[in-house]
Structure 1
Amino acid sequence: MTLPAVPMSVTPESPPAEPPARPGPADAALRIGGGVVSVWAGLLAAVLNLLFATWAWEVVKGRPAGLSKTVVGTSLAVGGIAAVVVLTVLVAWFAHAAVGTRWAVALPAVPWFVVIAAGSFKTAEGDLVLTGDNLLGLGMILAGAITFAVLGFRQIVVPPTAS
């Protein structure tokens, strides 16, 4: 009894692919440098958020002549909160791209939270950046915190892509 032959490919087999090379010291240095830049970007983003929130709230309280408080407040709130979300996404994206790990979003997020929290405490001279009546500042804090949380959660939950 004869069994039918199994069809076989006549193309030669390709040699096995070489494993990817281990990252060298230059790659590690770039990743560390990207992490440092990410931390500084988080600090800068928080300072800019606090400065804008304080300035915008002063503009709303002492609105320019001829403009209603509602128009000025609404436009500054929408623009400020949108700017916080966009800036937060850009900083978190840069951290992930520069460091290349899932937890990289924490590099700009932690200093951002520290600076924002420090802005809510009085200094020895009695200065206070974020007051309790500054609704724009509170909205910007909420928007930034939610954006960092969503981006961090997304990095942790989404499986890594095969390269």
Structure 2
Amino acid sequence: MTVQEAVVAEPVPPPGQPPRRALETALRTAGLVISVLAALFSGLLELFLTPLRLGGVWVGAAAIPVAVAANLALAWFAVTTVGRRWALGPPWVAWTVLMLLATGFRRTEGDHLVDARNWVALATVLAGSLAFAVYAYRMILRWPPAPPR
């Protein structure tokens, strides 16, 4: 074996251990699945916090900060665990689809989960989606510049 072949050859894993690439793929896939499930859980939590009232007044401080903080954390988690920038998309889509379904879903009483008269619910949907958008924009700004020619 020449020196050049030794440099190019990948190390062989010891017997009984899975290949490193398969383990990395499994971890990245698990990270993506966890981020999507966490986005759905976060959206449900925020939907339950939107009708919260204190003395008959909507409490916007309950759902809106939770939406922003959770979605920023979810975006970071997805991009970090998967290692690709596109990983921001699936949790963003899952969260947004859940919120869109909640706006069109009527309960048995006849009211919507996200009602147009509930400013907290509308602000939560806007702020939560903007949190993903801001994270995506920050990733675009950090994009490495093209190498000089």
Bin the TM-score by the shorter chain.
0.7 to 0.9
**Aligned residue identity for 1:37:** I
Deviation string, structure 1 residues 21-47 (Cα, Å, up to 9, x no partner): 696110011001111101101111111
Q: Secondary structure at the match of 1:129?
A: coil
| 2:28–2:82 CA contact under 8 A, matched in 1 | yes
Higher mean displacement: 117-126 or 45-54: 117-126
Q: Does 1:119 align with 2:102?
A: yes
**Aligned residue identity for 1:39:** V
| Alignment partner, residue 49 of structure 1 | 46
Greater relative contact order (CA < 8 Å, ≥ 6 in sequence): 1
Identity over the aligned pairs, expressed in percent?
30
Give matches, 1:48-67, under 5 Å.
Answer: 48-54=45-51, 56=52, 59-60=53-54, 63=55
Pairwise CA distance, 1:127: 4.4
State TM-score, norm by structure 1.
0.70
Give matches, 1:120-159, under 5 Å.
Answer: 120-123=103-106, 125=108, 126-159=110-143
Aligned length: 128
Pairwise CA distance, 1:158: 1.7
Give the Cα–Cα distance (whole angstroms) in 2 for the partners of residues 79 and 105 of structure 1. 25
Gaps spanning 5+ residues in structure 2: where?
A: 1-6, 12-19, 145-149
| Alignment partner, residue 22 of structure 2 | 25
Task: Give me the CA root mean square deviation.
Answer: 2.3
Q: Does 1:100 align with 2:83?
A: yes
| 2:107–2:113 CA contact under 8 A, matched in 1 | no
**Aligned residue identity for 2:27:** L
| 1:42–1:107 CA contact under 8 A, matched in 2 | no
Pairwise CA distance, 1:78: 2.9
State TM-score, norm by structure 2.
0.76
| Alignment partner, residue 6 of structure 1 | none
Deviation string, structure 1 residues 23-74 (Cα, Å, up to 9, x no partner): 61100110011111011011111111111112x1xx24xx27xxxx4xxx4x
Identify the match of residue 83 of structure 1 among 53, 66, 85.
66
Gaps spanning 5+ residues in structure 1: where?
A: 1-17
Higher-Rg member (1/2): 1
Identify the match of residue 35 of structure 1 among 32, 35, 40.
32
